[in-house]
A and B are shown apart, each in its own frame.
Chain A
Amino acid sequence: MSNWDRFLETFFNAKVMAKYLPDILHGMLVTIELAALVIVAGLVAGLALALLRSLGFRPVNLLIVFVVDLFRALPPLVIIVFIYFGLPAVQLSPSGFVSTWLSLTLVLMAFSEEIYWAGITSIAKGQWEAARSTGLSYGQTLINVVLPQALRLTIPPLTNRTIAITKGTALGTVVAVSEILGMASSAVSNSYNPSPLTMAAIAYLILFFPMVVFGRWLETRMAWKR
């Protein structure tokens, strides 16, 4: 057997791949489900915090800034480990899925709040005043003047950050979530062959490569012409 054949036999073993394909597909579904829940909850929570912050209550704002800083500074894996292994000490036992979802949601909330906030504050006051003085109402000004400019600024960084955090669903493996990497790892120890890991790698590329390319396209599309 040549080296090339041995390589294929090891990393692209057709028999092993066929056997574990359903597992990996199931893992993909779990990853998609987890990712979707994280994206929705994280972006909504971040927007809620940013809107709350725009009301301008000082004590509330200090608290928001602290929470945002906290979840920007902590590694997601540390938060997952704390929730999964730490909370049972007070009789709370969230599952691995819930622990991962909650951690990544908090992280995405923090990062997206920061981006929304920057978007809101970046629109100069003069824009408001000018639009209002031409006779536009508050709602019209918000929808037709302020939001289009703010969104154009925030969407590219928001997309890239969301993708980066969503990739963190793979961390669920550490707390026994049956997502792609978790399924692949157990398949490797059952079959004593690394082909399931190759499949996992391909599965992640199928899910995330289009998103990364989309993010890059958005970045060029929404850039201001200099």
Chain B
Amino acid sequence: MLQTFLNFEIIKAAWPILLAGLGNTVMLSLVVVPLGLIGGLGLAMLASVRKPWVRWPLMAWVDFFRAFPPLVLLIFLFAGLPFAGLELGGFACVCIAFFLNTGAYYGEILRAGIDSVPTGQTEAARSTGLGRIQTMLFVVLPQAVRNVLPDLLSNTLEVIKLTSLGSVVAMPELLFQARQAQSLTYNPTPIVLAAAIYFLMLWPLVRLLSRLENRALAARG
């Protein structure tokens, strides 16, 4: 069993390949998380204009991309667009797909956060002479983010896990590298190792989240 799933020789051989993959996963996460946050912030700011003709199309947009499996979006961009003469490459496709998909999730969370800040806060801030944008940036957003922090973190965890989809379009991230190492060595040890790396990397976040979530739910009850 150990010979098969945790073979020491193979761990030694696969280590550099996996390490390169881990580096790429971290880099990819550092690109797509801010990208999604920017998209989400844009959506949430737009939705804070409390007019039905602004809100309804935005909600439809958000629900559209929440209903769409991210892998389908990614394959569509990667395998579909070249037929229209648009060859974007794996990295660009991952970026666009994540911008649309995780942007929608972050947008929904941030919108709920902004909604949770009483309008009196905005009115008070405006009456002290702050502009609309200043009010949003310095008064509303800090409170909104604090109110939905567990959801924001939880979504970030999902986004980091989702970077493993990059392997499908040949991005050399952790899972892809593990698959390569596995087919070179005919042994599943690299995949076990990759799983262990994902787990050790994300476990602290999971722990923190489970604490925050329990506290949030208990406070609501």
Point out residues on A near B: beta carbons under 8 Å.
Answer: 7, 10-11, 68-70, 72-79, 81-82, 85-87, 89-90, 114, 117-119, 121-124, 149, 153, 163-164, 167-171, 173-174, 180-181, 185, 188, 193-194, 197-198, 200-201, 204-205, 208-209, 211-213, 216, 224
B75 touches A197 (CB 8 A): yes
A197 touches B188 (CB 8 A): no
Residues of chain B with a CB closer than 8 A to A197's CB? 75-76, 79-80
B71 touches A181 (CB 8 A): yes
A89 to chain B, nearest CB (A): 5
B79 touches A188 (CB 8 A): yes
A86 to chain B, nearest CB (A): 4
Q: Write the chain B residue with the least CB distance to A207.
A: B67
A212 touches B66 (CB 8 A): yes
A17 to chain B, nearest CB (A): 14
| Interface assignment of B217: CB less than 8 Å from any CB of chain A | yes
A121 touches B66 (CB 8 A): no
A181 touches B217 (CB 8 A): no
Segment of B35-43, B131-139, B158-166 in the binding face = B158-166
Name B75-95 residues within 8 Å CB distance of A.
75-76, 79-81, 83-84
A204 touches B84 (CB 8 A): no
**When chains A and B are docked, how far (Å) is the Cα of A82 from the Cα of B189?**
10
Q: Write the chain A residue with the least CB distance to B219.
A: A122
Q: Write the chain A residue with the least CB distance to B112.
A: A219
**When chains A and B are docked, how far (Å) is the Cα of A180 from the Cα of B75?**
12
**Given B84, B167, B194, B203, which contacts A11 in the complex, CB threshold below 8 Å?**
B84
Segment of B12-20, B48-56, B119-127, B207-215 in the binding face = B207-215
Residues of chain A with a CB closer than 8 A to B195's CB? 74, 78-79, 82
A170 touches B71 (CB 8 A): yes
A194 touches B182 (CB 8 A): no
A171 touches B71 (CB 8 A): yes
12 contacts between A and B (CB under 8 A): A114-B213, A121-B214, A122-B221, A153-B217, A167-B69, A167-B70, A194-B83, A197-B75, A197-B79, A205-B68, A209-B67, A212-B66
B218 touches A122 (CB 8 A): yes
Q: Write the chain A residue with the least CB distance to B179.
A: A81
Residues of chain A with a CB closer than 8 A to B210's CB? 68-69, 72, 114
Give 3 nearest A-B pairs by CB, closest first: A86-B188, A122-B221, A170-B69
| Interface assignment of B206: CB less than 8 Å from any CB of chain A | yes
Residues of chain B with a CB closer than 8 A to A70's CB? 199
Residues of chain B with a CB closer than 8 A to A224's CB? 220
Residues of chain B with a CB closer than 8 A to A11's CB? 80, 83-84
**Given B84, B168, B207, which contacts A174 in the complex, CB threshold below 8 Å?**
B168
**When chains A and B are docked, how far (Å) is the Cα of A85 from the Cα of B207?**
29
B161 to chain A, nearest CB (A): 4
B221 touches A213 (CB 8 A): no
A118 touches B218 (CB 8 A): yes
B182 touches A216 (CB 8 A): no
A153 touches B220 (CB 8 A): yes
Q: Write the chain A residue with the least CB distance to B183.
A: A85
**When chains A and B are docked, how far (Å) is the Cα of A175 from the Cα of B69?**
16
A77 touches B182 (CB 8 A): no
B134 to chain A, nearest CB (A): 27
A73 touches B69 (CB 8 A): no
**When chains A and B are docked, how far (Å) is the Cα of A150 from the Cα of B221?**
8
| Interface assignment of B184: CB less than 8 Å from any CB of chain A | no
Q: Write the chain B residue with the least CB distance to A203.
A: B72
A70 to chain B, nearest CB (A): 6
B206 touches A72 (CB 8 A): yes
B84 touches A10 (CB 8 A): yes
Scoring A72, A168, A193 by chain B CB atoms within 10 A of each residue's CB, the highest score goes to A72
B164 touches A168 (CB 8 A): no
